[in-house]
Amino acid sequence: MGMLIFWLVLSIVALLVDAFTSAFLFIWFAFGGVAAIIASYLGAGLMLQIALFVLVSLIAVAIGYPWAKKKFKTSIKPTPLMEETYVGKEFVAEEEIGEKTRLKVSGIYWTGYNEGNIIKKGQKFKIVGINGNKLIINGIEEE
């Protein structure tokens, strides 16, 4: 009866650790724990219980972890970084912008690199990308 309780506690702890970490890794050891619980209930020896726990856990991790990672991690959309929300924003040039400039976006100064032609004072431009901690800008041609 002692090993039955041990395997039950081990399985519950594995489930709780996975619930609090959302790693989708420890839940698979609970499957091994269930196999060991069944073996213990049927009167199997300790070595068989351990062997079943290890074998079922390894198989469950090998099959279940990649499946869960693919299924759940891709369905959760990552929160964009603050600077990623700047892409697509339009501004009016306060001065002529050659290759490099300094921009103030949401109260923060950034280095901006112009990928296109010189942007004239008063011309609209927009942020088209990010390269490290620098914003990539392009002038917008007026129609």
Pull the structure tokens for residue 53.
């726990």
Residues of the chain with CATH 2.40.50.140: 82-139
Backbone torsions φ then ψ of 87, nearest 5 degrees? -60, 125
Give the model confidence (pLDDT) of 91-127 as tens digits. Answer: 888 888 888 888 888 888 889 898 888 888 888 889 9
pTM: 0.50
Give the type of residue at 47: M
Task: Please choose, from the candidates 134, 137, 87, the residue with its C-alpha nearest in 3D space to the C-alpha of residue 111.
Answer: 134
SS3 76: coil
Give the model confidence (pLDDT) of 23-63 as tens digits. Answer: 778 888 999 999 999 999 998 899 999 999 999 999 999 99
Residue 141 scores a pLDDT above 80: no
Confidence of residue 78 (pLDDT cuts 50, 70, 90): confident
SS3 60: helix
Q: Which CATH code of 1.10.238.10, 3.90.1150.10, 2.40.50.140, 2.40.420.20 fits the domain covering 82-139? A: 2.40.50.140
Residue 60 pLDDT: 92
Residue 76 pLDDT: 63
